[in-house]
């Protein structure tokens, strides 16, 4: 059995036994910041997992040139229930953003580093189900690259804006040749998102988006349990003080098999902006 099939079987087992993860969609893309994010999944059916079973992200952005930023994202996967307790780093991402500020258009390229602990399958499985559109965060032995472009622009002077984002995620299973004496497997996805938002005069931001991921090559259908694509609807709200921005984001699955077992995911975040005026608005 190939490594991909082994992992898929493991994830299916966890999916069934459970009854049945970065940037925030409202985060200003020209900001210097450091943030903490926690995402928890709500399943259709009983679950004995603790509240803090999910995916944490510690991330930040630092300006290193006029329009050049260094980005780092460190995920942490956690599962704690009546039968098991596991914690593992996810795959760390290190990348660069280059673009303009007003309107905000930028390109991003990032490296995916294989920092997942392959001996923590329960934490990996929980992480996958918590954030199925970012499997590169939880895939063991994965080296890869992310290349995306983003554009954000005001629609009027009353706080309405839109954001579009798209690009490719590639990663490679680098250990299957030694583990199973089979060819290495490559994964290539196309990601895309359309978001509309509103920033009120008292700095409360509301957002709504639809995001998706489609597998480009044949092997990726195993990741989505035989499906080529997966989609989610996003609803977010945040409050921006001078430097501090707490936020709440709810994602609702729109496609099988996730919508049959997953009610939603909820993300809590807290961002510290080093600049007090880093928004388009």
CATH of the domain at 61: 2.40.160.40
| C-alpha to C-alpha distances, 127 to 87, 153, 175, nearest whole angstrom | 10, 32, 21
In a domain, residue 279? The reply is no
Please answer whether residues 124 and 76 qualify as being in contact, where contact means their C-beta atoms are separated by less than 8 angstroms. Answer: no
Residues 164-188 have pLDDT tens digits of: 999 999 988 777 544 444 556 788 9
Number of Cβ atoms within 10 Å of the Cβ of 46: 7
**In which domain, by residue range, is 163 found?**
3-273
Residue 247 lies inside a defined structural domain of this protein: yes
Give per-residue pLDDT as tens, 121-143. 888 888 888 888 888 999 888 89
Please list, residue by residue across 235-268, b when 16 or more beta carbons sit within 10 angstroms of its beta carbon and e when fewer do. Answer: ebebebeeeebebebebebebebbbebbebbebe
Q: Which residues contact 109 (CB under 8 A, 6 or more apart)?
A: 95, 96, 145, 146, 147
CA dihedral angle for residue 235, residue 128, residue 147, residue 249, rounded to 10 degrees? 20
Predicted TM-score (pTM) of this structure: 0.81
pLDDT range class, residue 212, cuts 50, 70, 90: very high
Residue 99 has a pLDDT of 77
* CA distances for 74 relative to 36, 60, 71, 119, 187, angstroms: 10, 9, 10, 19, 21
Strands (E), 81-228: 85-89, 93-100, 104-112, 142-154, 160-173, 185-199, 204-215
| 255 domain-assigned | yes
CA distance linking residue 274 with residue 271, whole number of Å: 10
Write out pLDDT tens, residues 79-121: 887 677 889 999 999 999 887 766 678 899 999 999 999 888 8
Residue 280 maps to a domain: no
In a domain, 208, yes or no: yes
Percent of the chain with pLDDT over 70: 78
Going by C-beta distance under 8 Å and a sequence separation of 6 or more, which residues neighbour residue 266?
39, 40, 42, 248, 249, 250, 251
- Give a yes or no: residue 278 inside a domain: no
Q: Is the pLDDT confidence value at 209 over 90?
A: yes
The answer to whether the beta carbons of residues 123 and 141 sit under 8 Å apart is: no
CA gap 145, 192 in Å, rounded: 16
Query: Does residue 75 lie within any of the structural domains?
Result: yes
Report if residue 281 sits inside a domain. no
Long-range CB contacts (< 8 A, 24+ apart) of 175-182?
175/3, 175/140, 175/141, 176/2, 176/3, 176/4, 176/141, 179/3, 180/1, 180/2, 180/3, 180/6, 182/2, 182/3
Token couple for 117? 């602990």
- Tell me how far apart the alpha carbons of residues 207 and 200 are, in angstroms, rounded to a whole number: 11
How many folded domains does the chain comprise?
1
In the prediction, which pLDDT does 92 show?
96
Q: Is the pLDDT of residue 45 over 80?
A: no
């Amino acid at each position: 059995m190939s490594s991909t099939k082994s992992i898929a079987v493991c994830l299916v087992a966890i999916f069934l036994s459970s009854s049945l993860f970065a940037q925030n969609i409202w985060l200003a893309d020209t900001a210097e910041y450091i943030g903490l994010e926690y995402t928890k999944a709500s399943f259709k059916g009983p679950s004995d997992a603790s509240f803090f079973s999910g995916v944490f992200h510690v991330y930040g952005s630092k300006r290193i040139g006029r329009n050049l930023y260094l980005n780092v994202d460190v995920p942490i996967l956690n599962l704690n229930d009546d039968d098991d307790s596991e914690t593992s780093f996810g795959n760390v991402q290190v990348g660069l953003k280059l673009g303009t500020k007003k309107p905000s258009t930028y390109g991003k390229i990032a490296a995916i580093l294989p920092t997942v602990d392959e001996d923590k399958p329960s934490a990996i499985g929980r992480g996958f189900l918590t954030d199925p559109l970012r499997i590169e965060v939880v895939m063991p032995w994965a080296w890869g690259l992310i290349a995306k472009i983003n554009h954000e622009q005001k629609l009027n002077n009353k706080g309405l804006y839109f954001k579009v984002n798209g690009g490719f995620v590639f990663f490679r299973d680098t250990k299957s040749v030694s583990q199973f004496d089979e060819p290495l497997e490559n994964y290539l996805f196309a990601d895309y998102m359309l978001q509309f938002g509103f920033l009120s005069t008292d700095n409360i931001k509301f957002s709504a988006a639809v995001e998706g991921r489609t597998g480009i090559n044949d092997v990726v259908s195993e990741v989505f349990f035989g499906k080529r694509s997966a989609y989610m609807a996003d609803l977010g709200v945040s409050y921006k003080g001078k430097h501090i921005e707490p936020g709440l984001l709810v994602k609702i699955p729109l496609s099988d098999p996730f919508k049959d077992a997953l009610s939603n995911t909820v993300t809590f975040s807290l961002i510290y902006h080093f600049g007090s005026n880093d928004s388009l608005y």
